[in-house]
Structure 1
């Protein structure tokens, strides 16, 4: 359990730094992307070698790199969004991925849901969507003009 807490603490520090430093020093997301990508790659290699004690370029790792490249695109867009919207709005809007992940699980991966469960899922996703829209509006002039 101690090892898990240590890994969680390191990950949390990394995530906070990942969001905080570009915003704090007004660094453009595109400029911050490469140094952060290099740092994440080195961190993943160390994690794989010393914590998991397996080869970093096994067949399973290579297959999972596709997901990593998709994540890289998401990270780049997130870093750009930090400059445009601020950390709080950008971080909140990234959590909208739960909508795509849930619908992908149901329709692409074929998760089975009863009619009642599906109804509740749709209501929950609608609430998440409305929350995301409201958060997005907080950074626009529309809300400023209303106040």
Structure 2
């Protein structure tokens, strides 16, 4: 059951690129609309789960709010970069590249910094799993030299790759920050472990302030970097609240899984990225992104490698 719960983020996050493309809008409108949806979900989680179960003092602890807001700020960088990458590369290409980068960063940060890979066997098989996921992500994004040239003026592979690199760094810090600040002592063991040592209250309490940080960070990026302040509140922004709700559902279950000792940060973050299968084939069959027969073969083989790598990662605890 723990693994099934940990797979909910994969379904939700794998759908984000598809949903936001359907909702339309610029990268700035998509980012801002998504944060509004995340804010709505975060407030509901705070008021209707954390406060009734953990108490108001816990829910509004100043250190938890610092962790949440900073996590939300770096998430905003990740999301803006991802949406720019989707615009420049397409969802079926951008999604696996984003996924591969996140899996490398998150798994290695959780393993090396958080100390979740404790034996030589875990490092060996964990590294093989990461390699499989990365190879799979590369295969799903390989171009076919015989394919017709794209006529879309927005296509810019190098620009999209840079955007995805920045996105990966933002998402990596967003994922690992709540547990990293516990490991460094900023969050006490008592605060982190409530109510039963699992960290469930801490991880869910982070979601509310995190959503506020997401909104603040996205406003700053949209206004000062994307220069889209004139179109921030058009219909496309409000439509993308749906995107934010889909993402937020995955976010809550990812943090719950990361707090579960039977899953852990490295496994939870890796399994959350299995949504690459949803993103790749959703981009092809739902959004109509064109693939040649060779590219379809690459996508199928690549997706299998990603899934196998994720399954291997999920079972490292048995070694």
Give the distance between the partners of 1:47 and 1:110, measured in 2 at CA: 30
Q: How far apart, in 2, do the equivalents of 1:60 and 1:117 lie?
A: 32
Aligned position for 1:39: 213
Quote the RMSD (CA, aligned, Å): 2.6
Q: Against the structure 1 CA distance between its residues 120 and 138, is the aligned structure 2 distance closer, same or farther, given a 3 Å change threshold?
A: same
Query: Would the alpha carbon gap of residues 47 and 100 (structure 1) be closer, same or farther in structure 2, given more than 3 Å must change?
Result: same
Query: Does 2:303 align with 1:107?
Result: no
SS of residue paired to 1:19? helix
Alpha-carbon distance in structure 2 between the residues aligned to 1:92 and 1:103: 19
1:13 deviation in Å?
Answer: 5.7
Alignment counterpart, residue 178 of structure 2, candidates 18, 21, 24: 21
Any idea what the Cα deviations from partners look like across 1:7-51, whole Å, max 9, x if unmatched? x49x84675155222462434322211111111112112222333
Change (3 A) 1:137 1:52: same
Indicate if the aligned counterparts of 1:81 and 1:90 stay in contact, CA closer than 8 A. Answer: yes
Q: Which residue of 1 aligns with 2:266?
A: 88
Q: Which has the higher contact order (CA 8 A, sep 6+)?
A: 2
Question: How many corresponding residue pairs?
Answer: 135
What is the distance in 2 between the residues matched to 1:13 and 1:113? 30
Are residue 122 (structure 1) and residue 300 (structure 2) matched?
yes
| Unmatched segments (≥5 aa) in structure 1 | none
TM-score, normalised relative to structure 1: 0.76
Q: 1:58 aligns with which of 234, 253, 258?
A: 234
Gaps of 5+ in 2: 1-161, 193-198
